[in-house]
Chain A
């Protein structure tokens, strides 16, 4: 209780959101270009993880459709390339993902547990293969080229999408709908019987979360320049956000962000340092986190922070104790002793003098 009350204070969360956006906005001015490039990858995963958590975090419906919703954004961007300004392309891609998520939601959200997971995974594979089939038979290509506006533009777009995702999620979590989603996750029957329109809330949240995934996909297509169905609908894009969210913790806003950032950095480090052991080490880390930190990394960070606060208070208190003890017991004694000594010396000196 204590932990979450400190960290879920609205003002604190809000100021952290603003701070993170500001830092991201000014980062390219002070850092070398390769940092921007790696920030692009990190931001992509952060957006995907955040929007995955938006729906799956409170409701406990594990969706593996992230790759499909992201890939639709990638493909609509590749198909529309140059015909429209990038802003419009990004918006349209978001809306297309919204529509797809609406359809998936209406089809699948009656399913629960493992059936839902499997269905969303199946849908992703279906869409990937359908597009591949279409491309081979009708456009007679496998991949598509997308013109890139440059890394700075890509970065700016991602920062904007990131802030929108974060703001939307903050508003959702602090609204009664956020609480209703939580209720659905804990007991759907009960939620239904106290008047929550469970199906509508689930489908709409799922669809809105897809907007951000689609928009991110549209932007990433211009970063990658070349895309094909296996890139756009890479199954890893479905799995990684789930792992990252669990890694960071889904109960608070900071969890998915922390999870995605650290996971991506760790992944990049392990790939370059231990290319053959990378998957093994990654898996090991995950197992350790899930076993020993069921609340995710954020909970660990918060526990450490609280220990620090308590330690600080303790030190302060001990210092105060020392000070009062000095003032109350030792100082009078010392001054008494000094006075006596001075007297005695004075007496001695006096005798000597006489």
Chain B
């Protein structure tokens, strides 16, 4: 089953074609990487998929249903969550409160009691290995922790599809391998992952499939090793 499908997506910022007639899909249970040089339109594509901006034209199907131009909170309620390239956390709150807010508002059909919420949040923190950091104020956290907290917060909305926007950039080698493990773990929990990443090592390690973007359109799509051998991809990244 196709978890996410984009049909002929085009987005223009004035005269700039940020996304140009992009076609892509993500199967259920897959980890798909989205790569491309800076300014290729990757984050714009994520913004379109998550509802932050409305595409100039084209359609987005999520679990086979049209979600084009729908408001972000409704898309979130349908089971899609995302993280941001530059972390967007509620900085004056503690990590716990960040996640609590997501748990309470991300699951509108559930009525969650205080105790139950606390238990669930602690579980989420435990999964991401940051149980001891849960009462820290966000502004005292390292970038690696903040990025991980964004994932915890996204998970609290109980998503089936998780969009990760450069969660691994700026991490140390140790943090990187931890993050890669975590992402595989998330897949084992039944969550489909669509991720933008610049760290090639990570992409090759965890992704089932890689989509390459250049100037707003898809230039390659396949397994990491196939894409690595693709002549157009090599030209884009390395020049002739």
Contact = CB atoms under 8 A, between A and B. Distances in A.
B25 interface: no
A179 B105 CA distance: 11
Contact of A180 (B50, B101, B108): B101
B170 to A, nearest CB: 19
A193 B76 contact: yes
Contacts of A183: 90, 93, 101
B2 interface: no
B186 interface: no
Nearest to B77: A195
Interface in B43-80: 50, 52, 71-73, 76-77
A194 B89 contact: no
B97 interface: yes
Interface string A1-44: 10000000000000000000000000000000000000000000
Given A182-B93, A187-B88, A193 B82 contact: yes
Most buried by B among A179, A187, A190, A192: A190
B71 A189 contact: no
A152 interface: no
Given A176-B104, A176-B105, A192 B90 contact: no
A82 interface: no
A197 B73 contact: yes
A194 B81 contact: yes
Interface in B121-161: 137, 153-154, 156-157
A187 B77 contact: no
Given A176-B104, A186-B91, A187-B90, A195 B84 contact: no
B92 interface: yes
Contact of A192 (B73, B91, B108): B73
B106 interface: yes
The contact size tier of chain B is: 20 to 34
Interface residues of A, number: 19
A195 B89 contact: no
A195 B90 contact: no
B106 A195 contact: yes
B81 A193 contact: yes
A189 B90 contact: no
B102 interface: yes
A186 B138 CA distance: 12
A191 B89 CA distance: 9
Interface string A167-189: 00000000010011011001101
A202 B41 CA distance: 31
Contacts of B81: 193-194
Contact of A194 (B92, B102, B137): B102
B88 A190 contact: yes
B90 A182 contact: yes
Contacts of A186: 90-93
A237 to B, nearest CB: 30
Contact of B106 (A182, A187, A194): A194
A193 B52 contact: yes
A176 B52 contact: no
Contacts of A243: none
Interface in A63-108: none
A191 B157 CA distance: 12
A194 B52 contact: no
B80 to A, nearest CB: 9
A199 B153 CA distance: 21
A191 B72 CA distance: 9
Contacts of A191: 90, 101
A197 B106 CA distance: 10
Contacts of B100: 176, 179
Contacts of A118: none
A341 B82 CA distance: 86
Contact of B84 (A189, A196, A199): A189
Given A193-B82, A196-B73, 4 more contacts: A176-B101, A179-B101, A190-B89, A193-B76
Interface of B: 50, 52, 71-73, 76-77, 81-82, 84, 88-93, 97, 100-102, 104-108, 137, 153-154, 156-157
Interface of A: 1, 176, 179-180, 182-183, 186-187, 189-199
14 contacts: A1-B137, A176-B100, A183-B93, A190-B84, A191-B90, A193-B50, A193-B76, A194-B76, A194-B105, A194-B156, A194-B157, A195-B102, A196-B73, A197-B73
